[in-house]
């Protein structure tokens, strides 16, 4: 059963609140669940998740260096050994795992939910803040425009770089790529942001309430794994 957008976002928020406390075993269970969800959508879903993770590979490497070399866990008596211990490796894997799991979950959310529905869900979850005078609808519309424009902008930049002959990590030719991108913008060939209108979200049915409660139960239940 496909959950309503607001329930998907609520599950993502709940996951972000507790995933930092997951054990390594709990993270592996969650990773298996996210992988199965992506596999149900097809190979392309997994490919997009791997691409998203590839973009943060240097951040993951920096986390490993920080927790294994720069700031390892103190051993007995508050001293640090010369070589990393298993506790250091486990902590580094857990911290990197948090980032991997969140990026994968956000990517799945992006794949299954249009930007305007994500923004409408944000507006609904933030609606209690209206009594403080916060314009949650305006904020959500800006989020919708950003979510819609950023991937298209990345595609336009990659297309311009390809036509300028830039390959891999080659830094030469970016001035030509910028010129190609500017010509595309002037010619109207690039994607323009869509409407900031927030759609009306469907009212959840009882079965969907049961599903989200079960999903939240799993998310919080993993704290005891």
Question: Is 82:50 a contact under the CB 8 Å cutoff?
Answer: no
How high is the pLDDT of residue 17?
A: 94
Question: Is 178:160 a contact under the CB 8 Å cutoff?
Answer: yes
Consecutive 10-residue averages of pLDDT for the chain (225 residues) = 85 94 94 93 90 88 80 54 73 91 92 86 83 78 73 68 60 60 62 62 88 94 93
Report which of 18, 17, 11, 54 is spatially closest to residue 34, judged by C-alpha positions. Answer: 11
How would you label 101-132 residue by residue, b for 16+ Cβ within 10 Å and e otherwise? bebbbebbbbebbebbbbbbbbbbeeeeeeee
Question: Is 124:204 a contact under the CB 8 Å cutoff?
Answer: no
How high is the pLDDT of residue 177?
A: 61
Question: Is 9:122 a contact under the CB 8 Å cutoff?
Answer: yes
How high is the pLDDT of residue 216?
A: 94
- The structural domains of the chain, with segments of one domain joined by +, span 1-113+203-225
């Amino acid at each position: 059963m496909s959950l309503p957008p607001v329930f998907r976002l609520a599950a993502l928020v709940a996951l972000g609140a507790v995933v930092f406390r997951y054990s390594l075993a709990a993270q592996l269970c969650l990773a298996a669940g996210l992988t199965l969800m992506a596999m149900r959508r097809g190979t392309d879903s997994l490919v997009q998740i791997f691409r998203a993770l590839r973009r943060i590979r240097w951040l993951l490497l920096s986390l490993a260096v920080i927790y294994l070399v720069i700031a390892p866990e103190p051993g007995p008596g508050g001293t640090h050994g010369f070589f990393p211990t298993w506790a250091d490796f486990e902590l580094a894997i857990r911290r990197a795992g948090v980032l991997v799991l969140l990026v994968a979950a956000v990517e799945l959310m992006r794949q299954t939910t249009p930007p305007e529905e994500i923004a409408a869900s944000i507006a609904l979850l933030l609606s209690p803040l209206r009594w403080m005078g916060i314009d949650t609808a305006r904020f959500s519309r800006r989020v919708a425009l950003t979510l819609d424009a950023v991937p298209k902008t990345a595609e336009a930049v990659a297309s311009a770089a390809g036509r300028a002959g830039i390959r891999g990590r080659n830094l030469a030719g970016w001035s030509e790529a910028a010129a190609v991108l500017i010509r595309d913008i002037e010619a109207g060939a690039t994607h323009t942001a869509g409407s900031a209108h927030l759609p009306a979200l469907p009212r959840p049915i009882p079965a969907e309430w049961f599903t989200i409660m079960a999903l939240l139960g799993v998310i919080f239940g993993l704290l005891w794994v």
